[in-house]
Amino acid sequence: MRLTRYTDYAMRVLLYLGRTPAELASIAGIARAYGISQNHLMKVVNDLVNAGYLESVRGRNGGIRLARPPEEINVGALIRHTEDDFDLVGCGSCLIAPACGLTSVLDEALMAFLSVLDSYSLADVLSRRGDFGYLLHISNASSRSSAAVENQASQGGIL
């Protein structure tokens, strides 16, 4: 099964914010850290805010952060939210679909895939390999201050 770029970006945002769950970060900072499109990320973040995964704080020192603790964010639920189509094969146009045993096998495989994802929270994923901030060239202190600087700059405050 291949997940979409949309889901990939959603997981990246949650992982980034999950490093320091209570702190605000900017979309621009996340996009820059990962080297991905800020425009695409804005759409993903807006969806995650509307779905209750993220909280958006407006204003000069605003930004985004997790709306709930990482332990309460289920990876399987997030994947179900961000993915539109779980069909592994387009059986609808196949002549033998009504009598084919492969359809039920693929359905079972999909359920097993989602079951594994359901058994993990964002906190579980974050704790599996250690801190990855150095790979994104961020530290806990710098992510805090860079979000404030970026927000001030976007509001015409500095730079």
For the chain, 159 residues long, give each residue's pLDDT as a single digit of tens: 789 999 999 999 999 999 988 899 999 999 999 999 999 999 999 999 999 999 999 988 899 999 999 999 999 999 999 998 887 777 878 889 889 989 889 889 999 999 999 999 999 999 987 777 677 776 554 444 444 444 444 444 332
Place of tokens 């989602």: 114
- b/e for 75-98, b at 16 or more Cβ within 10 A? bbebbeebeeeeebeeeeeeeeee
**Amino acid found at 77:** A
CA distance 156 to 17: 25
> Cα separation of 11 and 122, whole Å?
9
Domains in the chain, CATH or no CATH each? 5-154 (1.10.10.10)
SS3 80: helix
pTM metric for this prediction:
0.79
